[in-house]
Chain A
Amino acid sequence: MATVTNPSAASTGSLTAKALREATFTAVMTFLMFALFIGLKTDQNMRNELILVPRWGMLAILVVIAFVGRFAMVAWLQPWRTASKAAKSAAPTVDEDAGFVKRNFSKLAILALVLYPPIILWIFGVQGSLKYIDNFGIQILIYVMLAWGLNIVVGLAGLLDLGYVAFYAVGAYSYALLSINFGFSFWILLPLAGILSAFWGIILGFPVLRLKGDYLAIVTLAFGEIIRLVLINWQDVTKGTFGISGIPKITLFGIPFDASPNGFAKMFHLAPSSAYYKVFLFYLILLLCLLTAFVTIRLRRLPIGRAWEALREDEIACRSLGINTVTTKLTAFAIGAMFGGFAGSFFAARQGFVSPESFVFLESAVILSMVVLGGMGSLTGIAIAAIAMVGGTELLREMDFLKHVFGPDFTPELYRMLIFGLAMVFMMLVRPRGFVGTREPTAFLFERKAVSGAFTKEGHG
């Protein structure tokens, strides 16, 4: 072929032609796919009948975007990516010494989190800080804790659990029901909720001991849904879909956070504000998170942690070596569930209200995707994934400036979950091994060397 002598000139021409062809194809596909759903909108008229409202302009914009996007991708992005990949593989790899930040990342992160509330209070004032500490701080940390709890089951023991939210629900309802009906305080019920959840972890874990991979995932999903449906239908106890409200707040060594004379604000001569309670909750959940991380790190060095990781890699080899797979799996389920229970009781205390709505399958999926996107087993990666996913969706709520771009009817919240789903797909395509694709080995010979995530197996146990 003539292209051998002058590859660039000839391939540029054919590349443009190819890009045009693919772009046209993409545009046609986009038109066919979206004509019904974007081009027409079903709406209700005055007589409550459905009518169609055409939106051809929006459809046209979408088709044009698809055409241009695909053209740009084929004509420019792909050649550029192959070129940069080739350049990267040609360049010699330099063994970089990890910098100060990288070496002390977790210590710095903890320090930053401890300093977060005072800094926010200082910048935004007592009332202005509410949103940042509550929506961004506490909300994200609850998910970090849940994801770290699930990480014990999925990341360490390799048991794929799609019903983790059930244990979260057990913890939340344990606190809600026991504190309302019997008046126990949070500090008694926190461990109790953990124990109850762990108990449920064993009950639900026992029947699924023989199952593997996808099947295990589906059965745990079924269990999670059963627990939610029972919460909805067992109305005498759980009040069904109405939920339980008026759940007591947490007290600090007996000091309540309210406006009463011996409340926290009066006692320390501060202006009454709910912000102090939120700051307190922030530190509490931070402590619980650190507890989860500490236990996980220590467990990995215990025989049981080693057994979990061995189980994840090869169950048959495990059994041949005399590891009791029954107890190994059950402890993983129980300990994972226990942390879910802790998080659940904290959640109930923070909201003051629980209903089955909070424990839908979507939550399990979100938590699992944090674990997977975080790199399965890497605590830092999971925390980053949780911050990115929860923080990102929370940020969308704040994007009021988009209203100026798309008009006053535009509500960014509506697009939150759509973008979330698309981002999940995109992340899996770009980094299927998660943000942090390496693992620190627990056992090593001579030298601690991180291995690529690609060398470890998941979801086989």
Chain B
Amino acid sequence: MEYFIQQLINGLTLGSIYGLIAIGYTMVYGIIGMINFAHGDIFMLGGFAGLIVYLLIMTVFGGAPIAVALLCMLVVAMVVTSLWNWSIERVAYRPLRGSFRLAPLITAIGVSIALSNFIQVSQGPRNKPIPQMVNSVYTIEGISVSLKQILIVIITVVLLASFWYIVEKTPLGRAQRATEQDRKMAALLGIDVDRTISITFVMGAALAAVAGTMFLMYYGVIVFTDGFVPGVKAFTAAVLGGIGSLPGAVIGGLLIGLIESLWSAYFTIAYKDVATFAILAFVLIFKPSGLLGRPEVEKV
């Protein structure tokens, strides 16, 4: 039982990270119907931004209180990664809007290849380990919860609450939802569609950057190939929750995290990625609208 709860906690932490990435996929897919293949690499880029800021703090200031350091890492990573995704959308995706469906997908694959290789070339191909930033562990009745895990869950909850507020309650969120429903109509009603789409990319990238920084903090290591697998898993999460739905992405992320950690704990760690991919295939084949998504209507 203790073992089970322990795995549950690990899964929840992992799931929070996947959930944050999944939101980027789901928002972009919702608004322009494009699978942003490069989103996983945006996540990796965020992790690297966090890493470099951490090293900068260590070398320039000789260290800082953990809270300050973490906050700096998160903020800088969010800003830099958002700029990247904004520019990518502007340069690579916007000119192809309205082109045939495959074009943005192929472009996104190209961006993904370019991003991961850019990091490989500019930062080197090796693993980048950092020392433990936060290492307190609390043990309650045989179940250990590390401060890292608590931090990740808290940051995720706070961010999700604020993003949910933005999407549901502010004029910006209203513009986003309107664009999602009908782009042409939204434009006719005076919504700046291009700007709304740009902001969607920026928001997705900011969340991915947070996920990347927390991934770095949790595992203490990052490498340029780290974008692909978490990216596909987060996409699975988005699909599982129902693509286009924000709460769905979070629930999907948590489910994927739980399934992954429980599968590794009780079955075999070697096939844990197979489990995720199999879930992806099953959901898409049997319930393509996911848990909370709207079913797609086929029009003739």
Contacts and interface: CB of A to CB of B under 8 A. Distances in A.
Contacts of B51: 42, 50
Given A215-B284, A458-B101, A459-B100, A36 B49 contact: yes
Interface in B75-102: 76, 79-80, 83-84, 87, 92, 95-96, 99-102
A459 B119 CA distance: 32
Contacts of B49: 36-37
A217 interface: yes
Given A42-B124, A233-B271, A418-B114, A217 B105 contact: yes
A160 B35 CA distance: 13
B114 A32 contact: no
Interface residues of B, number: 65
Contacts of A135: none
Interface string B191-228: 00000000000000000000000000000000000001
A222 B278 contact: yes
Contacts of A214: 33, 35, 101, 105
A459 B87 contact: no
A425 B111 contact: yes
Tell me the interface secondary structure of chain A in the complex.
Answer: helix
Interface string B126-149: 101110000000000000000000
A61 B143 CA distance: 54
B186 interface: no
Contact of A418 (B33, B117, B126): B117
Given A40-B56, A51-B55, A207-B285, A428 B103 contact: yes
A51 B59 contact: yes
A226 B239 CA distance: 18
Tell me the interface secondary structure of chain B in the complex.
Answer: helix
A42 B128 contact: yes
A421 B107 contact: no
A415 B121 contact: yes
Interface string A412-434: 00110110111111001100110
A60 interface: no
B106 A418 contact: no
A223 B103 CA distance: 22
A311 B265 CA distance: 45
Interface string A28-45: 010011001110111110
Interface residues of A, number: 60
Interface stretch (A108-116, A258-266, A278-286, A360-368): A360-368
Contacts of A131: none
A20 to B, nearest CB: 19
Interface in B21-48: 33, 35, 45, 48
A421 B96 CA distance: 17
Nearest to A28: B83
A213 B284 contact: no
Contacts of A425: 92, 107, 110-111, 114
15 contacts: A36-B48, A36-B49, A52-B59, A207-B281, A208-B285, A217-B105, A233-B274, A316-B298, A362-B113, A369-B106, A369-B110, A418-B117, A421-B117, A424-B107, A433-B100
A-B residue pairs, 3 tightest by C-beta: A421-B114, A424-B110, A421-B113
Interface of B: 33, 35, 45, 48-49, 51-53, 55-56, 59, 76, 79-80, 83-84, 87, 92, 95-96, 99-103, 105-107, 109-115, 117-124, 126, 128-130, 228, 232, 235-236, 239, 270-271, 273-274, 277-278, 280-281, 284-285, 288, 298, 300
Interface of A: 29, 32-33, 36-38, 40-44, 50-52, 160, 207-208, 210-211, 213-215, 217-219, 221-223, 225-226, 229-230, 233, 316, 361-362, 365, 368-369, 372, 376, 414-415, 417-418, 420-425, 428-429, 432-433, 454, 457-460
